Structure 1
């Protein structure tokens, strides 16, 4: 049985008040108290950050517990185990004896073990005539039994904190997704608002977080992101109410387009047979309207005439030039003087890039006719940005033109994907 006297360490190891405190607490254990050793060990593994022990030290403790003959820690069974360092090394997966001694010292310093040394420092036990152990010298597990409630409470705190951190991460992910999708929808639908500033604010909030944020940092960032999401939703709701009060603006817009099939955008160039040349527009109101290839347009009464072509050409929405340049910064190198200040500069750069990418003049003319000159130049900029991922730029552009005519293509998602990709690349470089 374990004696109730205070024991001091063997040899040059000094006695500390912490060791004395652990021994005093161990003598106050209730006589009938029992704890499952493996459940207590799992709780200790959970509470490890608060207890102040390493995972290697817990591996040594696991080996020590394996030498305890019962599953339940109790004073009546004795609480001292006395394996040699060689035996501990075998059960600690071959850990070196010097390392085992170091981690044993960590466990004793943390108040999880008591060293009960023999007069010569060896570990052994005295047995009585009946074979029962009268006294043992080794390591006492009494502190584990005495601190079982404390260890379980600390484990519960760690688990609760981990769950709280996980919930914060989930809410942050959902909030970020909501804001990103709402901005994409606003840009796609042409909603009024400074969406690029809001997008930059969102990126700033995310970049401010460290790689492994604490719960307080996540909570503060989440509060700001939720306020930002509420602001975005309020702006979109106000615009929806305004549209509902003004009747059916989409129908009015289509009616205005169809009522004047001869109107064309001054920024849409008409191409001749030579690359990069523009056709001179005819301002005579008595002449028949012509398409962008110089051919006469069909009468406006035809279902597939100029009205249908104009509607298809304007089915894509143009996006702010700043957004295009943010998504496709490589196009800046091909602008006049190495810069792009307006849409005409972008379209000039697109003509240069078109030739460099191997896109035929006819394919680019069809894209301008189907998408509009601004959108065609935007698509060329996007193809340049994704040059390594597209094998045939000309075929890809023709496919997008056909999809535009069927109403199956939108530029907004392509631009936003490139904005996110460029932002991620900048973060990796920094």
Structure 2
């Protein structure tokens, strides 16, 4: 272990406790320790921002190292260099004197060099009879040797942070692009959903990104953008499932009807002659096939609605319709939208539709708009509840093996 004295700066330059700590730390340099001066310089350059120095400070440090003749900094060597300001300025690419002094002060403050001032502030070396430097006054490079491991660790951390920052920025850019284009596509093609609300959230989120973001800024924005992206994808996925349900509606409905002991087709008039005086209004004929589903099957597909029934349970179709009225209000569906659904589907089937919407409420931004869309599609003969029930049963893990059993309550 070395024993070193603390020296104070010459002239009006103040002494600080930070300078004292930097000098006393030099006494702890491990015996026989060495370090490549240019590797240490590269590490200091990489860690520049964490050290609080500027690029011109590095130019001065580079110049100072060039005055040390050896490549290796050694614990047992004299690591003091003593160039004049003129010589130092030349090797620092002609840096002005005032600028040079400012960046020397930065290097001292950062603890990368230590001043070793003579009595008159001049920089020089005193040699012995053999020509060896006995005492030198100038800039001590020992802090670079003492902190070589620390500077290497700082440099590695900076490089790791840069890589993380780059990856986070790339991920945010891709996520922004995906959200932007998905919302635009949905709005341009008139897809059902609150796309304007999602668009507003996207704009607000992008507007909060600073001009020069930090890693924490990017990661926080990316986290929120990924949540928004998932909501957009879930909404599109739900719409896609609804379209698939509509496409397969005829096949699934036919399968369920054919599995009943008494086919619904046999209950309907098969000719114009039989229809005279016997048929019910057209709207009622639309609703009858859907009511063929057993109530128990409906409740397996849509269990949540039972919480809104009388006494927290549903025992018959009347209870289901009562619960649907409560749910309609809870979901924010207007009375007129629910009335239109009842007229198009029949009150029982409208109640089942509301139960299905409640079951998927987390994925539907506008329950009222969704119900109106189902009503319009029902009026055009493009929608029935069979596929919706099948999809809900599958999502809840139930099989449809009981769908063909006799009608429930």
| TM-score bracket relative to the smaller structure | 0.5 to 0.7
Q: Which runs of 5+ in 2 are unaligned?
A: 250-409
Q: Please give the secondary structure, in 1, of the residue aligned with 2:247.
A: coil
- How far apart are 1:47 and its partner, in Å? 1.5
Query: What is the rounded CA distance, in whole Å, between the counterparts of 1:153 and 1:207 in structure 2?
Result: 36
Match of 1:206 in 2: 206
1:23-422 equivalent positions in 2, closer than 5 A: 23-247=23-247
Q: Please give the secondary structure, in 2, of the residue aligned with 1:246.
A: helix
The verdict on how the C-alpha distance between 1:188 and 1:89 changes in structure 2, with shifts beyond 3 A counting, is same
Contact 2:3 2:27 in 1 (8 A): no
The verdict on how the C-alpha distance between 1:86 and 1:3 changes in structure 2, with shifts beyond 3 A counting, is farther
- How far apart are 1:3 and its partner, in Å? 8.3
Cα root mean square deviation, aligned? 2.0
Contact 2:59 2:92 in 1 (8 A): yes
- How far apart are 1:210 and its partner, in Å? 1.2
Match of 1:394 in 2: none
- How far apart are 1:17 and its partner, in Å? 2.4
- How far apart are 1:180 and its partner, in Å? 1.8
Query: What is the rounded CA distance, in whole Å, between the counterparts of 2:223 and 2:102 in structure 1?
Result: 45
Contact 2:4 2:26 in 1 (8 A): no
Match of 2:291 in 1: none
Q: Please give the secondary structure, in 2, of the residue aligned with 1:137.
A: strand
Query: What is the rounded CA distance, in whole Å, between the counterparts of 1:18 and 1:242 in structure 2?
Result: 69
Query: What is the rounded CA distance, in whole Å, between the counterparts of 1:25 and 1:3 in structure 2?
Result: 10
Q: Please list every run of at least 4 consecutive aligned residues from structure 1 whose deviation after the TM superposition is greater than 6 angstroms.
A: none
Query: What is the rounded CA distance, in whole Å, between the counterparts of 2:13 and 2:191 in structure 1?
Result: 75
Query: What is the rounded CA distance, in whole Å, between the counterparts of 1:6 and 1:197 in structure 2?
Result: 66
- How far apart are 1:240 and its partner, in Å? 1.3
Contact 1:3 1:135 in 2 (8 A): no
Query: What is the rounded CA distance, in whole Å, between the counterparts of 1:3 and 1:230 in structure 2?
Result: 63
The verdict on how the C-alpha distance between 1:202 and 1:70 changes in structure 2, with shifts beyond 3 A counting, is same
* TM-score normalised according to structure 2 size: 0.57
- How far apart are 1:115 and its partner, in Å? 1.0
Q: Which runs of 5+ in 1 are unaligned?
A: 250-430
Describe the superposition over 1:354-401 as per-residue Cα deviations: whole angstroms up to 9, x where unpaired.
xxxxxxxxxxxxxxxxxxxxxxxxxxxxxxxxxxxxxxxxxxxxxxxx
- How far apart are 1:188 and its partner, in Å? 4.5
Query: What is the rounded CA distance, in whole Å, between the counterparts of 2:218 and 2:12 in structure 1?
Result: 49
- How far apart are 1:183 and its partner, in Å? 2.0
The verdict on how the C-alpha distance between 1:96 and 1:242 changes in structure 2, with shifts beyond 3 A counting, is same
- How far apart are 1:228 and its partner, in Å? 1.1
Contact 2:73 2:79 in 1 (8 A): yes
Contact 1:115 1:140 in 2 (8 A): yes
- How far apart are 1:230 and its partner, in Å? 0.9
